[in-house]
Amino acid sequence: MRKTLRQMFLFLMLSCMLTALSQPAETSEVEDMFWSRQWTSLENKLRSPDYEASARDRVMYANSLWLQGRWAPALEIFLEERDSLPEKLRPYADMLIALGFERTGSPRKAREVAMSLWRIEDWFLSPYVAYALGRIALNEGDVPEARGWFRAMSERATDASLRRQALGSLIRLPDPDPLDGLALLEISPFHKGALALIRQDPGLDDGVTAFPIGYAAFFSGDHEEAVIHLGRVPPDSPSAERARFFLARSLSRLGRNDEALDLWSELALTSSRYYQSSVESISRMAAESGGRAMDMLNGIALSGPEDPAAAALSELANIFARKNEEERALVFEDMLLEKYPKSRFAAAALWEKGWSSWKHGDVRAADEAWTKALDAGNDRRQETRLLYWAARANERLGDSRTASALLDRLRKNFPIDYYTFLAFPEGGGRVEDSVPDVLAGEEGELADWGFVIYARMEMASSDAPAGRFASARLALWLGDARSAFLDALPLFSMLSSFDPLPRPVLETLYPKAREREVLEASARFGVDPLDVWAIMRRESAFDEEAVSPAGAMGLMQLMPPTARENAAMLGEKEGDFFDPARNIILGTHHFSRLLKMFDRIEWAIAAYNAGQGAVGRWLPPKGPIEEWIEDIPYGETREFVRQIMANRNIYRITYPDIAAKGKDRE
């Protein structure tokens, strides 16, 4: 492949992609200008009477015009140079020609080109062709034809986002089909338009609409309506288990505890996918009121299937430990460790046992519990925690050899984990701009001719690591942090196999979304921009339209009252809190206030999740900050703090220049 992207990323300070793209040595000045986005220089070069432009130069220039939204001049060049393109690239040029005709007021010509493209079978851009034809038909007032094309788009869609777009277009048409609303709710369960559509159609089977309406009612806080609808979900429905679980939660919120317990018990004893949540729900009720809930929890522990029984024994041990009834807690703990020694619940119990010993100064007992837990069925989060604290225990016991071995295992297997950064503040390994051979690969002619959007789409459909990496890097160049992150996610599990850590991969997994807006907001409120991205990655995964079940909005996941409060403090009126620039400003302002309220970054992060009132109750800390984090009462907040702290450290080793500026500000 040509040296195209090499020059692009040299200009963009992303030279790490050299190896990944395996580019030969020569590159043209036009390519340099294109990939470094020197649009004015590129235009002047192509218009110079002294420069004899090749067909490829002109097509790259046309693509640069397209990326700037200059449809008419781009269209003119695509029409002139179409036949100069390699044959396999012509359909992509035709796609832009069709869109160009549509956007410059020539729908008839746009339709002709799009129809010729539609006849190409098994083409991965066919959903986009159908969408264009649907838009053209709708603009011409032909609703039935538009409906047909949007439905074709839905059928050809290769991912959830495309199908969501198609179904959203369908339900906005006159006389929409409520079945399309139901299909949309499977992808976006809180879509207001789809919910309104199925509510107002009396012809739909109540058993079909019961779950989506009831599920949305639960998360909106209308538990009476949730009970009505979730109770109507047929037992053979694919949503039956989920419906029973949330029905139980609504019944509990309404004080109908016996009915809730019956449902949770059924879900636990049948080993449903909700067995652990059901056991935990019964446990909470048992801890509060004992009685029937306690009897039920005991019954599951003694005679339930293996996983639910292990979960119940773990909950019983925790209940009595919190009540300081240590002997009874030990009875259930011993039963758990004896009957299910390799379960993750046994590992969790051993963690708690070790933590209690650690807090009471019995380091040897803590080490024994944690060492035994490392042999049980741990997930990644549990294993990293055990490795770190077991190493700390061995250090205190004077066994530096064992401590070093545990920390080395942590560093090698989990190089960018929260606990790794606790042990190694500079990170678990060197970070370099090189790219591993396994991620090196060809991008193909699409990128060589400037069709970056389509090159990225093509690579995104690849299962090969090199293809996903190339797609993610192109998404970054296009300014699409969300797509870069999603394209690169399959590479996350490969990080532990790389030494040194490749910065190019970290850049795709930890991108600088909305860089200009974040830098402006951070400078305005005195916040490190890397901290803003660390929060954004955890909160929304860079999805600008993200909505949590609780109603948190946008990139920074602001609850409506928080958004309104910060807007008022800045003298702004209420508006679109999903707008990325506004969401970033309000979220950054909110975080800056928390940083001023609390002396430590960890406390401010905890307050971003749990609220400043809750964090205020947890202060002052008893012991070092890492112990304070382990003692946070809310499991969600505890994990939130760990993830944000890991994210901010990873951003610092990935973008050292920005990190250095942050140190200068300090």
For range 511-533, the mean pLDDT: 97
Residue 663 pLDDT: 61
Residue 442 pLDDT: 60
Residues contacting residue 476 through CB under 8 Å, at least 6 positions apart: 14, 484, 507, 508, 511
* Greater pLDDT, 485 or 160: 485
Query: Which of 25-34, 140-149, 153-162, 412-421 shows the lowest per-residue confidence on average (mean pLDDT)?
Result: 25-34
Residue 313 pLDDT: 96
Query: Which of 83-92, 337-346, 416-425, 546-555 shows the lowest per-residue confidence on average (mean pLDDT)?
Result: 546-555
- Per-residue pLDDT for 390 more than 50? yes
Residue 121 pLDDT: 67
What is the pLDDT confidence band of residue 1, given thresholds at 50, 70 and 90?
Answer: very low
- Per-residue pLDDT for 515 more than 50? yes
Pick from 45, 134, 55, 42: which is nearest to 93 by CA? 55
Residue 664 pLDDT: 54
- Per-residue pLDDT for 172 more than 80? yes
For range 481-490, the mean pLDDT: 95
**Cβ-based burial of 63 (10 A; exposed 0-12, middle 13-18, buried ≥19):** buried
Residue 462 pLDDT: 85
For range 124-138, the mean pLDDT: 94
Q: What is the pLDDT of residues 93-113, one digit of tens each?
A: 999 999 999 999 999 999 999
* Whole-angstrom distance, CA of residue 480 vs CA of residue 468: 14
In the chain, the percentage of residues whose pLDDT exceeds 70 is: 94
Give the domains, in start order, of the chain with CATH numbers.
4-199 (1.25.40.10), 515-665 (1.10.530.10)
Residue 184 pLDDT: 95
DSSP 553: B
- Per-residue pLDDT for 305 more than 70? yes
- Amino acid identity, residue 392? R
Residue 662 pLDDT: 65
Task: Supply the mean pLDDT for the chain.
Answer: 91
- Per-residue pLDDT for 27 more than 90? no
What is the pLDDT confidence band of residue 665, given thresholds at 50, 70 and 90?
Answer: low
* Whole-angstrom distance, CA of residue 509 vs CA of residue 502: 11
Residue 458 pLDDT: 87
What is the pLDDT confidence band of residue 655, given thresholds at 50, 70 and 90?
Answer: very high
User: Half-sphere exposure (CA, 13 Å, Cβ side) for 434?
Assistant: 10
Pick from 238, 288, 233: which is nearest to 263 by CA? 233
For range 539-550, the mean pLDDT: 88
Q: What is the DSSP string of 201-267?
A: -TTS-HHHHHHHHHHHHHHHT-HHHHHHHHTTS-TTSTTHHHHHHHHHHHHHHTT-HHHHHHHHHHH
* Whole-angstrom distance, CA of residue 598 vs CA of residue 586: 19
Left if phi > 0, otherwise alpha if psi is -120 to 50, otherwise beta: which for 502?
Answer: beta
- Per-residue pLDDT for 566 more than 90? yes
Residue 120 pLDDT: 85
Sign of CA dihedral 233, 237, 241, 242: negative
* Whole-angstrom distance, CA of residue 497 vs CA of residue 36: 32
Residue 19 pLDDT: 35
Tell me the three state secondary structure of residue 547. Answer: strand
The catalytic residues are: 539
* Whole-angstrom distance, CA of residue 164 vs CA of residue 543: 14
Pick from 627, 637, 549, 664: which is nearest to 191 by CA? 549
Pick from 483, 608, 453, 616: which is nearest to 543 by CA? 483
- Per-residue pLDDT for 23 more than 70? no
Supply the Cα-derived Rg of the chain in whole angstroms: 29
Cα 342 from chain centre: 31
Q: What is the pLDDT of residues 578-602, one digit of tens each?
A: 999 999 999 999 999 999 999 899 9
For range 295-299, the mean pLDDT: 96
Q: What is the pLDDT of residues 247-295, one digit of tens each?
A: 999 999 999 999 999 999 999 998 889 999 999 999 999 999 999 999 9
